[in-house]
């Protein structure tokens, strides 16, 4: 089972990101880590090769503590890659050539909706990882939306693609990894309990999460094609 989940958008005032970046880098430097990639950490690759369990647990707890100190709102969307692959080319024009495209755009919309629901007139700046397939499509779609819709233009201040080495994207990578694992549990594709690392992330209101998972049924409705689905095709993030 493969899911497409772009790095979640994390909502926070700019001044607090500066505080976060400083503390995040301090934790990494203390363990001589250049960049935190959750996949490398989980598989004990690269800079994490040979780390004993106690060191791994202590390091992860410190990173979670940094995230908890700023209490961001993590916003994301998910789609099953095989569901998107089943679409014909004309249908993909409606939702993006890659699952990433729809998920990234949906995440931006969810972020703006959340801000509006809080009664705030603040705008949102979206930072995405540079180099992802479909990034150009995402930028084009959001640029067109800003030109065509006044509300979209008012809410979305700018869209920037940056290297994954940036601390906010490292934290987003952490959220994306944990979210992908949990979505599989939510839709019945994995029967195991919630991961301890996710419990720590969400425990004690360390971070709030707003998410959207598009089931196969919903995807087919979006492109105008009815389909029979099994119970495991539906779920929520």
> Positive or negative CA dihedral for 156, 18, 203, 40?
positive
In this structure, what DSSP letter does residue 192 have?
S
pLDDT digit string, tens, across residues 58-101: 999 999 989 888 877 778 888 888 999 999 999 999 999 999 89
CA nearest to 203, candidates 64, 49, 40: 64
Long-range CB contacts for residues 11-18, cutoff 8 Å, separation at least 24: 11/72, 11/73, 11/75, 11/111, 11/114, 11/115, 11/124, 12/70, 12/72, 12/73, 14/125, 16/70, 17/70, 17/168
Mean residue pLDDT across the chain: 83
CA 26 to chain centre: 24
Contact 1, 184 (CB under 8 A): yes
pTM: 0.78
Per-residue pLDDT band at 228 (split at 50, 70, 90)? very low
- pLDDT of residue 133 exceeding 90: no
pLDDT digit string, tens, across residues 151-209: 888 898 888 888 888 898 898 888 888 888 887 787 788 888 888 887 777 765 545 67
**Which tokens belong to 237?**
């993030």
Contact 10, 66 (CB under 8 A): no
pLDDT (0 to 100) of residue 232: 39
Q: For the chain, what are the domain ranges?
A: 3-233
Looking at the DSSP bridge assignments, the partners of residue 117 are none
Q: For residue 128, give the 3-state DSSP assignment.
A: strand
- pLDDT of residue 136 exceeding 80: yes
Spatial neighbors of 43 by CB under 8 A, at least 6 apart, are none
Per-residue pLDDT band at 47 (split at 50, 70, 90)? very high
Q: Give the angle subtended at the CA of 199 by the CAs of 237 and 35, to the nearest 5°.
A: 90
Contact 55, 61 (CB under 8 A): no
> CA of 100: how far to CAs of 137, 163, 171, 220, in Å?
10, 17, 18, 17
């Amino acid at each position: 089972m493969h899911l497409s989940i772009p790095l979640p958008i994390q909502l926070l005032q700019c001044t607090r990101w500066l505080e976060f970046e400083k503390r995040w880098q301090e934790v990494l430097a203390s363990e001589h880590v250049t960049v935190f990639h959750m996949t490398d950490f989980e598989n004990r690759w690269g800079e994490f090769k040979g780390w004993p369990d106690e060191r791994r647990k202590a390091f992860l707890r410190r990173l979670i503590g940094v995230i908890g100190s700023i209490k961001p709102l993590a916003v994301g969307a998910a789609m099953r890659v095989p569901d998107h692959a089943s679409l014909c080319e004309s249908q993909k024009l409606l939702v993006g050539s890659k699952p990433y495209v729809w998920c990234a755009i949906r995440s931006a919309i969810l972020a703006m909706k959340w801000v509006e629901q809080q009664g705030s007139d603040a705008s949102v700046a979206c930072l995405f990882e540079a180099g992802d397939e479909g990034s150009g499509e995402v930028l084009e779609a959001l640029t067109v939306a800003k030109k065509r819709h006044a509300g979209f233009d008012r809410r979305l201040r700018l869209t920037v693609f940056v290297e994954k080495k940036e601390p906010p994207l490292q934290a987003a990578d952490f959220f994306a990894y944990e979210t992908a694992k949990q979505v599989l549990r939510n839709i019945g594709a994995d029967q195991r309990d919630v991961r301890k690392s996710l419990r720590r992330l969400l425990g004690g209101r360390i971070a709030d999460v707003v998410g959207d998972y598009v089931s196969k049924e919903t995807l087919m409705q979006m492109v105008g094609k009815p389909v029979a689905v099994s119970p495991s095709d539906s779920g929520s993030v």
